[in-house]
A and B are shown apart, each in its own frame.
Chain A
Amino acid sequence: GAGVSQTPSNKVTEKGKYVELRCDPISGHTALYWYRQSLGQGPEFLIYFQGTGAADDSGLPNDRFFAVRPEGSVSTLKIQRTERGDSAVYLCASSLNEARGRVFFGPGTRLTVL
């Protein structure tokens, strides 16, 4: 079946602009995660959704970052007033409830802030 999909695959924006990154999880997966991966590093946890609610948003770096999952399926990560330091690959993952590390990652969105 279809895996986790993320759009766009690449996004180039200018400093100060607003961006939205979309994640379509595997159908039926109730848990959804956002991670950020900088070059040469492991993924860094941002936020975890169980259904529609953000169960753990402790990884969001500041209030410029926000994520929603209004119907418990598709999620959007929103970044306001982008900074050059936000440049990274943003990874989305989904899993069945209680799967913990057995998650399925999407291919990521590469964000470049000029």
Chain B
Amino acid sequence: GESVGLHLPTLSVQEGDNSIINCAYSNSASDYFIWYKQESGKGPQFIIDIRSNMDKRQGQRVTVLLNKTVKHLSLQIAATQPGDSAVYFCAENTGGFKTIFGAGTRLFVKA
């Protein structure tokens, strides 16, 4: 594989702090949203999803918030660890199986 995201927006956090990654989506008809994590040389990995009838969903150390009014999605990572360093993509889906990915945010975790 190859490194992706050489010129992506970047978020740098201290190990142990909480991280918040934001995403604006484009299609008001989207009814399902997903966050993926992509490490260098690997394919994206599913983290968490949320349907449009929800505002918040929690997983293990991660929380996704959805604000449909302003078409905004965020991913919160609690107690960020070095292993969380990666590129994070939000993605939207309008009801079929075609998922549209955003541009991505690179997260750096400082030890």
Q: Do A and B bind each other?
A: yes
Contact between A42 and B97, CB atoms less than 8 A apart = no
Give the complex CA separation of A59 and B100 in angstroms: 11
Contact between A42 and B102, CB atoms less than 8 A apart = yes
Contact between B97 and A105, CB atoms less than 8 A apart = no
Contact between A91 and B43, CB atoms less than 8 A apart = yes
Residue from A55, A58, A103, A104 whose CB has the most chain B CB atoms within 10 Å: A103
> Main SS of the interface on chain B?
loop
Give the complex CA separation of A107 and B6 in angstroms: 18
Other-chain contact of B6, A4, A40, A56, A89 (Cβ < 8 Å): A40
Give the complex CA separation of A45 and B94 in angstroms: 13
Residue from A39, A42, A44, A106 whose CB has the most chain B CB atoms within 10 Å: A42
**Which A-chain residue is minimally distant from B42 (CB atoms)?**
A107
Contact between A105 and B44, CB atoms less than 8 A apart = yes
**Which B-chain residue is minimally distant from A45 (CB atoms)?**
B98
Give the chain A neighbours of B6 by CB distance below 8 A: 39-40
Contact between B93 and A101, CB atoms less than 8 A apart = yes
Give the chain A neighbours of B93 by CB distance below 8 A: 100-101
Count of residues in B whose CB is under 8 Å from the partner chain: 29
Give the chain B neighbours of A108 by CB distance below 8 A: 1, 42-43
- A27 on interface, CB distance cutoff 8 Å: no
Contact between B44 and A40, CB atoms less than 8 A apart = no
Residue from B5, B6, B34, B46 whose CB has the most chain A CB atoms within 10 Å: B46
Question: Chain A 91-114 against B: per-residue CB contact (8 Å), 1 yes, 0 no?
Answer: 101000000111111111010000
Contact between A101 and B99, CB atoms less than 8 A apart = yes
Contact between A101 and B34, CB atoms less than 8 A apart = yes
Give the chain A neighbours of B4 by CB distance below 8 A: 37, 39-41, 89
**Contacts of A31-55 to chain B: CB distance below 8 A:** 31, 33, 35, 37, 39-45, 48, 50, 55
Give the chain B neighbours of A45 by CB distance below 8 A: 98-100
Binding site for A on B (CB under 8 A): 1-2, 4-8, 32-34, 41-46, 49, 89, 91, 93, 96-104
7 shortest interchain CB distances as A-B pairs: A105-B43, A42-B101, A101-B34, A48-B97, A40-B7, A43-B101, A42-B89
